[in-house]
Structure 1
Amino acid sequence: MNAASASAATSAADDGDDDDGTVLPPGVVESRNNIIDSEIRAFLLSGGGGREGDVTTYAKSEFRSFFTVWMFLTRLPSPSHIDLHPRYLMRGMSYLPVVGSILGVSCAILHDALQISLGLPSACASIFVVIFGLCLTGCFHEDGLADTFDGMGGWSRSQVLKIMSDSRVGTFGCASLCLYLLAKAQLLGHLGASRWSFMDSSGPGPAILVGQALSRLSAPYLVRTREYVPEHGPKSPFYRYMIEARHILSWSRVSFAIAYSYALSVMFYGPTFAATLLSSVLLVSHLAGNEGDYLLGGVMGDYLGCTICVCEIVVLTLIVSRDPIIETCVAISDALFDAGSSSSSSGDGGSSLHDGHSHNYYSDAVIRRMSTLYGNDRVRPLVNLVFLMTAVKIWCKFVGPPDMYAREDRKKEDDGKED
C-alpha cells in the first residue's frame, strides 16, 4: 500500500498548485511541520475524529472514511466529493476487511459464473478471477509485495528502504509476484465447485470472499501496533500524518475490524474454524510486524501490502488443507494418547517412581511417545519438517558472521569513537 503518492496528490490539490497537481512548491511542506501535530489533535477532538458532534456529523465522517479507503484500495469510483485526505485514510483503515469482502463477493460471483454457468474448469476460472482481482485493485498490494521482497536483498536498513522506494522491479520482486499469483490460482483451482451454506460452506467462492476480507485485517493491526516508517522523498515531512496514525486508528476501530472479520468467517465456516483462520492471520501479522521492526524499524505502505498478500495465501492454504490438518491433529492426539496409555499400563502401580528409577521411567515414556509419533505415516513428514526448520535456525544462529544490522550498529559505534 503506497500511501505516499496518495497523500502527495491530495496535499498538492489542497494547495492549488499549477504543477499538474502533483508537486508542491519548495518550502510548503517544511512550513507545515509545526502544525501537523496540532492538526491531528484538533481532528481527534472534532466531529471528524468521531469523538464529539451529533449523529449526522459522525455518520458523514464515517461515510467519508469508508470511501477514502475505497478510493485508495480500488480503481472503482467514489463519490465526487471524496478526496484522499490522510487523516480519513487512517481512520478508514478499520474498514479494510469490509472493502475486502465487497471485492471478494465480486470475484466469487465471477468464479461461480465461469465455472458453473459456462462450464470452465476450476483452474481456468481461478486464473480469470485472479486477473479480475488485479484489475479491481490495480495490482495495489502486489506492488508492495514486489517492492518488499526486492528490499529484502539489501545489506543495511538504509539500503533496504532505498531499494523499496525504487519503482523498478528486481529479481526477488519478480519471483515473489510469480509465485504468489501461481499459488493463489492453484489453491483456488483445487477447491472444486462452490457450495454456499451457513457455517458449512466450501469451494472457491466462499474461500475468495473470506480470504479477501481476513487478509486485509493485517493492515490496521500492524498500523496500530507498530511504528510507521516515514516515506522517503521531498515530501517526507508531510508523512508525519502516517507516523501519528496510531492516535487516529484507535483500538476500538481495530476491534471492529477483528469482530467483522470473525463474524464473516463464522458465517461461512463456523466458529471453530473461523477462530483458527482469524488466529492465523493475527499470528502472521504479528510475525510480519517483528520482521518489519528488524528490516525497517517498523512498517510502511509497501510492507503492509506485502503482508496482505502473504495473509491471503495463508488463509487459502488453511481452507484447502482443512480436512488433512484435522486428520493430522487427530493422528497426533491418538498417537500420544495410545503411547501414554501403554506407558501407564506397563507400570507397576507407581512403585518405580520411588525406587531410584523415576528418571529412566519418564525417559522411556518420552521415547515411546516420540517413536509412536514418528511411526505414523501422516505425522512423520511434519516431524521431519520441524527438525529441518530447527536445524536451519540453529545453523543460522551460530554459524557465519554477525547479523548485518549488528555489523551496521557496530560500525556506527566505531565511527563515533573515532570522531
Structure 2
Amino acid sequence: MMEPMEVDHPVRTSLSARCVYQLRLFFVALQFFTRIPIPRWVGFDERWLQHASRYFPAVGIVVALVCALVYVLASLFWNQSVAVLLSMGAGIYLTGAFHEDGFADTCDGFGGGVTEERVLEIMKDSRIGAYGAIGIGLMLALKWMTLASLPSPSVVVALLIVHPFSRLAAISLVWRMNYAKANGKAKPIGQEMSNGEFCIAGATALLPMVLLGLTEWMSWEAIAAGVLLATIASLWLARMFQRRIGGYTGDCLGAVQQVAEVTFYLGILAALAY
C-alpha cells in the first residue's frame, strides 16, 4: 500500500495530494511575504519556505490585484495622483513594508559600509540611516510620479504586470547566487532553488504579461521596454552584491524587487510617451 505523501517532500502519489501540497506552498509564501491570514490547515514548517519560493511571483499577483482594486475605487472619488498614492499605501500595508525595508537597509549597508563585514553589520541594524531614508524617500517618490504620469487604464495593467515580474527578478538571486551570511530572515528560502522551481516562478510571472499583451491592454513595446530596464537594473544590483558581499541577503532581495518594479514603470512610461 502506498505511503501517505510527506508535506515537506512531495512524491508522485495522487493528483489531489500533489495539488494540496502546491496549495500549501502557495499559502506559506503568502503568509511569509504578506499580512494576509491563511487557513489553519496549512500549518507551518520552516523547511517549506525552501520550496515555497516558487510562488513568490504568485504572491505578487495577489498584491497587484489588491493595489489595482484600491486604485480603481480611489479613482472614483479623487484624482489620479491621490489614487496612486492610496494604492501604494495599500501595497505597503499588505506586505508590511517588507521589500521597502530591505531596500532601505541595502542603501544604508552599501552606502555606508566599505568592507564586507561592515556592510552586513549595517544592514543587520534595524535603525534607518541617512542613506536608507533618502533612498526610500526617492524610491517612493519616483514610483508615485511614474505611475501618476501613466494613462489611467495603464496604471492597472502596469500593476498586474510589474508586481509579479519584479518578484521574479528578486527570486532569481536565490536561483543563481549564494546566500551571503550564515543566518538571516531569507535563509530558509536562500539555500537552493531548482531549475524546475524557477520555471514555475517564471511562468507565473509571465502569465499576466502575456495575457495583457495579447489582449492589447498594453503594447508589446511598452512591456519590452519595462522588461529591459528592470532586467538591466537587477543584473547591475546582482553584480554589485556579488562583488561587495559575495552573494545576497534578504534585504538584497527586497532591494531588487523595489528597483525592478520602479524601473519597469519607467520603461513603460518612456515607451508610451515615445
What does 1:280-291 align with in structure 2 at a 5 Å threshold?
280-291=229-240
Displacement of 1:106? 1.2
- 2:169 maps to 1:169: no
User: Conserved in 1, the CA contact under 8 Å of 2:8 and 2:47?
Assistant: no
Compute the RMSD of aligned alpha carbons. 2.3
- Which segment is superposed worse, 205-214 or 170-179? 205-214
Distance in 2, Cα, partners of 1:169 & 1:299: 19
Structure 2 match to 1:183: 142
**Which of 92, 109, 115 in structure 1 is aligned with 2:52?**
92
Distance in 1, Cα, partners of 2:63 & 2:168: 14
Letter paired with 1:182:
A
**Which of 254, 257, 260 in structure 2 is aligned with 1:305?**
254
- 2:62 maps to 1:102: yes
Displacement of 1:138? 0.8
Letter paired with 1:309:
Q
Distance in 1, Cα, partners of 2:43 & 2:234: 29
Letter paired with 1:262:
L
Distance in 1, Cα, partners of 2:35 & 2:7: 28
- Relative CO higher for 1 or 2, CA cutoff 8 Å, sep ≥ 6? 2
User: Conserved in 1, the CA contact under 8 Å of 2:51 and 2:189?
Assistant: no
**Identity of aligned pairs, percent?**
27
Distance 1:265 1:139, change over 3 A: same
Aligned partner of residue 53 in structure 1, secondary structure: coil
Distance 1:156 1:277, change over 3 A: same
Deviations 1:85-115 (A, max 9, x none): 3322121111111111111111111111111
Displacement of 1:321? 1.2
Distance 1:281 1:50, change over 3 A: farther
User: Conserved in 2, the CA contact under 8 Å of 1:107 and 1:208?
Assistant: yes
Deviations 1:341-398 (A, max 9, x none): xxxxxxxxxxxxxxxxxxxxxxxxxxxxxxxxxxxxxxxxxxxxxxxxxxxxxxxxxx
Structure 1 match to 2:167: 216
* Larger-Rg structure: 1
What does 1:260-339 align with in structure 2 at a 5 Å threshold?
260-270=204-214, 272-273=220-221, 274-324=223-273, 327=274
Letter paired with 1:128:
L
Distance in 2, Cα, partners of 1:83 & 1:276: 41
Letter paired with 1:48:
D
Letter paired with 2:208:
L
Distance in 2, Cα, partners of 1:82 & 1:291: 38
User: Conserved in 2, the CA contact under 8 Å of 1:222 and 1:286?
Assistant: no
**Which of 16, 19, 35 in structure 2 is aligned with 1:75?**
35
Distance 1:84 1:291, change over 3 A: farther
User: Conserved in 1, the CA contact under 8 Å of 2:67 and 2:159?
Assistant: yes
Aligned partner of residue 321 in structure 1, secondary structure: helix
Letter paired with 1:103:
V
Structure 1 match to 2:25: 65
Deviations 1:253-289 (A, max 9, x none): 2112222222211222348444444454344333222
Structure 2 match to 1:157: 116
Letter paired with 1:73:
F
Deviations 1:305-331 (A, max 9, x none): 11100000011111111134xx4xxxx
Distance in 2, Cα, partners of 1:239 & 1:187: 30
Distance 1:56 1:47, change over 3 A: farther
Displacement of 1:125? 1.0
Structure 2 match to 1:139: 97
Distance 1:146 1:240, change over 3 A: closer
Structure 2 match to 1:362: none
Letter paired with 2:209:
S
User: Conserved in 2, the CA contact under 8 Å of 1:47 and 1:53?
Assistant: no
Structure 2 match to 1:259: 203
Letter paired with 2:194:
S
Deviations 1:201-253 (A, max 9, x none): xx211112212111111122110100012355xxx7x987555x22xx21112
Distance in 2, Cα, partners of 1:125 & 1:242: 34
Unaligned runs of 5+ in 2: none
Structure 2 match to 1:128: 86
Aligned partner of residue 77 in structure 1, secondary structure: coil
Letter paired with 1:205:
V
Letter paired with 1:122:
Q
Distance in 1, Cα, partners of 2:129 & 2:54: 32
Distance 1:92 1:282, change over 3 A: farther
Aligned partner of residue 152 in structure 2, secondary structure: coil
The count of corresponding residues between Structure 1 and Structure 2 is 264
User: Conserved in 1, the CA contact under 8 Å of 2:226 and 2:267?
Assistant: yes
Distance in 1, Cα, partners of 2:187 & 2:94: 29
Displacement of 1:47? 6.1
Deviations 1:15-71 (A, max 9, x none): xxxxxxxxxxxxxxxxxxxxxxxxxxxxxx966333443323322221111011100
User: Conserved in 2, the CA contact under 8 Å of 1:277 and 1:315?
Assistant: yes
User: Conserved in 1, the CA contact under 8 Å of 2:186 and 2:249?
Assistant: no
User: Conserved in 2, the CA contact under 8 Å of 1:75 and 1:136?
Assistant: yes
